[in-house]
Amino acid sequence: MSQENTAPAGAVVAPPPKSRRGFFLRLLVVVIVLAAIAWTVWYFVDGRWYEDTDDAYVNGNVVQITPQIAATVLSITADDGDLVHQGDVLVKLDDADARIQVESARAELANTVRRVRGLYNNVSSAQADVAVRQTAVDRARADYNRRRDLAKTGAISAEELSHALDTLTSAESSLASAKQSYSTSKVLVDDTVVASHPDVRAAAAKLRNAMLEEARTSILAPVDGYVAKRSVQLGQRVQPGAALMAVVPLHEVWVDANFKETQMQHMRIGQPVDVTADVYGDSITYKAKIRSLGIGSGSAFSILPAQNATGNWIKIVQRVPVRVVFTDPKQLDDKPLRLGLSTKVTVSLHDQNGPLLAQQPPAKPEFSTDVYANRLAGADAEIAKVIHDNASSGGDGEQEKAPK
């Protein structure tokens, strides 16, 4: 007799346990729907007012350091990565040739000053000669007039009167010649003193140029920054315009962000920008703003622009460079950015009151340096000293002036 498992009469059978899979599926659907609704609301309220791109790179000025004269390198005071300040000497060139030129120009100026002094003396001599000739003419005329009166009474012969007339004519001719010589000498120095004479000014310009060439043997840093791309070597004979090294001012960097043309519709100058750099990750966000919108796409200014007038043409979305400048210099001091680093740029489009193009020309230079302004600070004093030492009469320091 087989035994069967049978439930006792009147016992309640428990239902099988319900599956939780259906519950989680329904919950997942609800979460997805709510997330889609939230994203849609966020996009239309705030998200659509942002444009971003990761086709953005740090850029900046690369100030090339080049010599202005041909000379041999004697010393190099900065290497790659060194910090330099505006006015620091980066490279020292051999100044032997320049010093020789300065001495030659100084001697030429002194010689010119002395020669010009001779011109003033010639004027004084010519003026004195005119006075002597005028006296001779007066004496000859008086002698002639007296003999003419005597000739009327027959006291002297006609031949003697003729000789007196010849003497007067000769004296008048000599006077005319002396006046012409005086006029010629006076023209050379008229309305001038030694220091303002054209010959002296030309010689002074040569001395000033020679001193400038000597000053150029010290190659200075035009801006504050860091040295890069040093190629100059000791003993090298450098030529004007040759690149010796570069100075990069990292506190003046910017970002060139290349946005698709379809992202440019609502962009305006001055809109705020958030910049993150790959080197520091998303934990560091730089505050910036749009400095300018590109005047053309990248392909428009390429060396070999695209030739679209062909049979096989495919439309490609163009990218337009947008320059982004940083608004908080302290961030760059704390977390410096190097040229060429990759960044991500996010532009806030909420404020669209800014212009699409610049409306005014720059009021002042965008970049400038005054490191070369004082190179001839001592030139005028040196020129004045040379003129004083060679133009003074007997060391009294008085400059000669043309007589009136």
8 Å CB contact between 399 and 191: no
* Across 315-336, average pLDDT: 91
Q: What is the pLDDT, as a whole number, of residue 12?
A: 58
User: Identity (one letter) of the amino acid at 373?
Assistant: A
Phi, psi of 349 (to 5 degrees): -100, 10
Domains of the chain as residue ranges with CATH: 97-216 (1.10.287.620), 249-303+314-348 (2.40.30.170)
pTM of the model: 0.73
> Which segment of 38-42, 212-216, 332-336, 394-398 scores lowest on mean pLDDT?
394-398
pLDDT recorded at residue 326 = 95
Q: What tens digit of pLDDT does each residue of 135-194 get?
A: 888 888 888 788 787 777 777 777 777 887 888 888 888 888 888 877 777 777 777 788
C-alpha to C-alpha distance for 212 and 201, rounded to whole angstroms? 16
- Cβ neighbours for 270, distance < 8 A, ≥ 6 positions apart: 289, 290, 351, 354
pLDDT at 83: 95
Mean pLDDT of 104-120: 90
Mean pLDDT of the chain: 85
User: In b/e form, how buried is each residue of 33-57, taking b as 16+ CB within 10 angstroms?
Assistant: eeeeeeeeeeeeeeeeeebebebbb
